[in-house]
Structure 1
Amino acid sequence: MRRRMARLITQSGSIRKPGSRSAKFWAVGVLLVLGFGALLLSRPVTPPPPVSSEKTPPRPDARAAEKALEDAVPREIAKAPQKPQKKMDEIPKENALKKASPDQPSKSPPKEEKLTTKAGKFSRADTVIGVLMAHKVSRSEIQKVLDSVREKRVFSRIRAGRRYEVRKKDGELREFVFQLDNESRLRISRTPNGTMTASKEDIPYSVDVVRIQSRIRSSLYNAIADGGGAPVLVHKLSDIFAFVIDFHKDLQSGDKVEVLVERKHLKDEFVGYGKILAAEFKVGDRRHTAVYFEDGGGRYYNVEGESLRRAFLRSPLRYTRISSRFSKRRFHPLLKRYRPHFGVDYAAPRGTPVHAVADGVVTWVGRKSQAGKTIKLRHGGGYRTAYLHLYRYARGIRRGRRVLQGQVIGYVGSTGLSTGPHLDYRITRRGRYLNPLKAKLPKGIPLPRSLRPAFKKILEERRTMFDNLPLLKDSQASRAVPGPLFATVDGRTPNL
């Protein structure tokens, strides 16, 4: 380059002599131009990058910086001091969910619904279906209840005042119990497979024994009420002593009655009377005793061990008074003359039921001139009975029909030659008329000898109770704590 510049200067011949001032300036300028040109030629030239439509990727150093930034936070957290974490088996059960997932709120397990029991009594208009629907039992569950019982008639025989209980869990019916009668109930329970099963069982009452003692002044009803009892006991006593006492004729003012009877309680509530264990009437100078003996067929016996159930009832109906007695010479109120009266006239309201006094066969059903509508029965031992002046006959009573003791055969009337509604009752033995009020009728069947020792033991226990138990009207008898309606006989509640 320098040689090229020198050659140009020589050829031009325009260089001045040394010492010339302009020549010096010119030489310095030429040298500066040459130096700057040499500097430019010595630097390498870099071509421009190619133009592309795609987005330019970040440089490697920028990507490394971003990755380092992302890893920085976890490393700093790891460096921070942390408490030692317990194992899952060491964490308490109630905090296990919180420890296992600290970032999420723990959900408590759903609470198990408790078994609920609702009790009540059937009203006059209630039905089983209506009661279950009132307790929000679904129709499908009600159908299962109905299907569990073969005899559907039990659902239509519900009486007012009988108890029921409905047990539910998780909104489903688990058990339905309702009272069938005074002694039994029906339990309908859910099985593991979802069906319903029904079972009949005895009601586990709590029972205590009380003593009632009273003196008859106006009637047996008033005497029992004065002793603290209820009218239902009068009917029980009438049935027990019906073969040995004529309650319309024999009882007089001043006679005494004493009773040992069971009282039943359910859930600390009095629900009624149970069996009469023993009873005694002092009628004038006579004493009539009845003792209940379970081993003797569940019957009542006197102190000699003879059954109080006799072959004949003392009277065939519940009457108000005796209007005419047995007589061989009685003045007839309509015929106005004396004639024999071989029966007893029991005055009673029209339509009063008339019962057969003993087992027998119907030998006559029809009307007689003066006797009106009449029924005649033939019994064992040569005995025959007749029932005159009836209003009508009971359904099914016809000649040749067999009847049982106590069965209703007709109703009191005033047909034939009669002055008012009454029953003319007559009894004969082998063709001879007997006085129904005085006839010595067959006694009850005695206990077999094998049962006599057990009966004597029961008899002594009842005598001790008569002597030691306090009177019901003078004290409040203590009661055992009753079990729940759903408890079984052994006191346990079934697991559902």
Structure 2
Amino acid sequence: MAVKNSYKRFIIYIVASIVVVTVYFLSNFFKNKNAANEISPPDSLFTEPLMEYGIETDSFAVYKAVVSPNEFLSHILTRYNVPYANIDKLTKTSENVFDVRKIASGKKYTVFCTRDSLQRAICFIYEPNEVDYVVFDMRDSLHVYKNSKPVEKTIKTSYGKITSSLYEALANTPQGNMLAAELANIYAWTIDFYRLQKNDWFKIIFEENTVEGKSVGINKILACEFYHYGKTFYAFNFSFENSNEYYNEKGESLRKAFLKSPLKFSRITSGFSMNRFHPVQKRNKPHLGTDYGAPQGTPILATGDGIVQEAAFKQYNGNYVKIKHNSAYSTQYLHMSKIANGIKQGIAVKQGDVIGFVGSTGLASGPHVCYRFWKNGKQVNHLKEDFPNTKPIPEKYKNAFMLLKDSLMPKLDSIYTDMPI
């Protein structure tokens, strides 16, 4: 009897355990089910709409192309079923924003069209460059506006070694031409880039502009070091108040009273010499100037501020301009193809003003400018003159400059080169 009762209790215990476990799992099942019902749908159902030029692309058929030669706005929009009347209104609407006559072949454009059978353009976007774009919006009312893509600035470094020219040294560098032009501008008062020597070298720290991961240009050079003729020339970009200039490591401006050359880009064809063989007269004679060979029509720049003393034609000089800078210095520019408009005796000119154009008038064997330099009434070799720097950084900004320079100098030093000093 006792055994029978024990067996019953065992069966009851087993059944009770099964019931408890079942209730536990069922309660958790319904609890999780209810919780699942309360969970928000996956994020994928709430993704942001795809945007381009500030326009939702999902709603439209999007076409991209480049402007063909001799193609105008009307040609493009009529292909996308825009009525001529609307094109005319759009052209007039854009007059104060963008001149549609400036739409150029090879430039990118995007057309947003309706998704119906007509596929009519409702937005036309033209890109004059890689950063800016013009929107011709025809959705509700016709309006035109300009905008720009987000530009990111990235600090980059570069270096080069001169074998033939500055451009060649940067030929394989992204934005190399722009870097070369910027270097030439920064050092226009301290380095004659037409006399670069083999094995001269340079290091650069610069800000590169990128749009959508693609390089679109140089924002500015932050610092650079140029080794030339056995000397090292530093340049650091520094801004204060309304000034933004380049200074050497001592805080002295790189600007001087005279540019090193009357041309931006060229090559020296004949240097200052007291006994140079004249290519036209076929005899040795003093050549009291420096010849800069350049293509016909290359702009010639005033190397310093001054007053035009002469602007005329003479048999041997050809078209020429002479400028008096102060009581000590004068400069002269010979063999111009023509003198620039407005340049005449008595006119004031500023450093860098275009005063004429390279040619071969007068006694010249080819297109060049003969640049002559007077100091206290005597012709001298301007390349050997050491002109003082212009105003240094004001004392109250000197500490800020030194901190900037001290932060950039190690970065310049860390740029690897195999170029011994």
Q: Matched residues in 2 for 1:167 and 1:461: separation?
A: 49
The residue matched to 2:183 in structure 1 has which SS?
helix
Q: Matched residues in 2 for 1:230 and 1:195: separation?
A: 42
Match of 2:334 in 1: 388
Q: Displacement of 1:425 after TM fit? A: 1.1
Match of 1:370 in 2: 316
Q: Displacement of 1:386 after TM fit? A: 0.8
The residue matched to 1:275 in structure 2 has which SS?
strand
Give the RMSD, CA atoms, in angstroms: 3.5
1:256 aligns with 2:201: yes
Q: Displacement of 1:289 after TM fit? A: 2.0
Match of 2:143 in 1: 196
1:314 aligns with 2:270: no
For the structure 1 residues 365 and 304, does the alpha-carbon distance in structure 2 shift closer, same or farther, using more than 3 Å as the test?
A: same
The residue matched to 1:132 in structure 2 has which SS?
helix
Match of 2:81 in 1: 136
- Residue type of the partner of 2:394? P
**Alignment size in residue pairs:** 356
2:392 pairs with one of 437, 440, 446? 446
Q: Which has the larger radius of gyration?
A: 1
Map Cα deviations across residues 331-357 of structure 1 (whole Å, 9 max, x no partner): 666667776543223344444432221
Match of 2:222 in 1: 277
Q: Displacement of 1:247 after TM fit? A: 1.0
Report which of the two has the higher share of strand: 2
Map Cα deviations across residues 167-219 of structure 1 (whole Å, 9 max, x no partner): 34576655443334565433444686x24142x44432233222112222233
- Residue type of the partner of 1:305? G
Larger CA deviation: 382-391 vs 414-423:
414-423
Q: Matched residues in 1 for 2:254 and 2:149: separation?
A: 29
Q: Matched residues in 2 for 1:145 and 1:461: separation?
A: 52
The residue matched to 2:384 in structure 1 has which SS?
coil
Q: Matched residues in 2 for 1:210 and 1:292: separation?
A: 15
Confirm or deny: 8 A CA contact 2:113 2:122 kept in the other structure: yes
For the structure 1 residues 228 and 429, does the alpha-carbon distance in structure 2 shift closer, same or farther, using more than 3 Å as the test?
A: same
1:319-334 superposed matches below 5 A? 319-327=266-274
For the structure 1 residues 180 and 442, does the alpha-carbon distance in structure 2 shift closer, same or farther, using more than 3 Å as the test?
A: farther
For the structure 1 residues 360 and 134, does the alpha-carbon distance in structure 2 shift closer, same or farther, using more than 3 Å as the test?
A: farther
Confirm or deny: 8 A CA contact 1:148 1:188 kept in the other structure: no
Confirm or deny: 8 A CA contact 1:214 1:227 kept in the other structure: no
1:155 aligns with 2:103: no
Q: Displacement of 1:380 after TM fit? A: 4.8
For the structure 1 residues 216 and 339, does the alpha-carbon distance in structure 2 shift closer, same or farther, using more than 3 Å as the test?
A: closer
The residue matched to 1:225 in structure 2 has which SS?
coil
Q: Matched residues in 1 for 2:96 and 2:314: separation?
A: 46
Larger CA deviation: 145-154 vs 301-310:
145-154
Confirm or deny: 8 A CA contact 2:189 2:258 kept in the other structure: yes
The residue matched to 1:147 in structure 2 has which SS?
helix
For the structure 1 residues 261 and 445, does the alpha-carbon distance in structure 2 shift closer, same or farther, using more than 3 Å as the test?
A: same
1:217 pairs with one of 158, 163, 181? 163
Q: Displacement of 1:363 after TM fit? A: 2.4
Q: Matched residues in 2 for 1:243 and 1:260: separation?
A: 20
The residue matched to 1:260 in structure 2 has which SS?
strand
1:267 aligns with 2:212: yes
The residue matched to 1:437 in structure 2 has which SS?
helix
Map Cα deviations across residues 12-59 of structure 1 (whole Å, 9 max, x no partner): xxxxxxxxxxxxxxxxxxxxxxxxxxxxxxxxxxxxxxxxxxxxxxxx
Larger CA deviation: 341-350 vs 276-285:
341-350
For the structure 1 residues 220 and 267, does the alpha-carbon distance in structure 2 shift closer, same or farther, using more than 3 Å as the test?
A: same
Q: Matched residues in 2 for 1:333 and 1:137: separation?
A: 65
Q: Matched residues in 2 for 1:362 and 1:407: separation?
A: 12
For the structure 1 residues 148 and 420, does the alpha-carbon distance in structure 2 shift closer, same or farther, using more than 3 Å as the test?
A: closer
The residue matched to 1:298 in structure 2 has which SS?
strand
1:185 aligns with 2:133: yes
Confirm or deny: 8 A CA contact 1:393 1:411 kept in the other structure: yes
- Residue type of the partner of 2:185? D
Task: Give me the TM-score of the superposition, normalised by structure 1.
Answer: 0.62
Aligned-residue sequence identity (percent) comes to 32
Q: Displacement of 1:315 after TM fit? A: 0.8
Q: Matched residues in 1 for 2:239 and 2:260: separation?
A: 25
Structure 2 portions without partners, runs of 5+? 1-57
Q: Displacement of 1:245 after TM fit? A: 0.8
For the structure 1 residues 149 and 305, does the alpha-carbon distance in structure 2 shift closer, same or farther, using more than 3 Å as the test?
A: farther
Q: Displacement of 1:283 after TM fit? A: 1.4
Q: Matched residues in 2 for 1:309 and 1:184: separation?
A: 33
The residue matched to 2:382 in structure 1 has which SS?
coil
Q: Matched residues in 1 for 2:99 and 2:191: separation?
A: 38
- Residue type of the partner of 1:384? S
Structure 1 portions without partners, runs of 5+? 1-112, 472-496
Map Cα deviations across residues 226-278 of structure 1 (whole Å, 9 max, x no partner): 556633322222222222111111x2112211122333333344434432232
1:84-483 superposed matches below 5 A? 114-151=59-96, 154-169=99-114, 174-181=122-129, 184-189=132-137, 194-198=141-145, 200-225=146-171, 230-249=176-195, 251-295=196-240, 297-317=243-263, 318-327=265-274, 340-380=286-326, 382-466=328-412
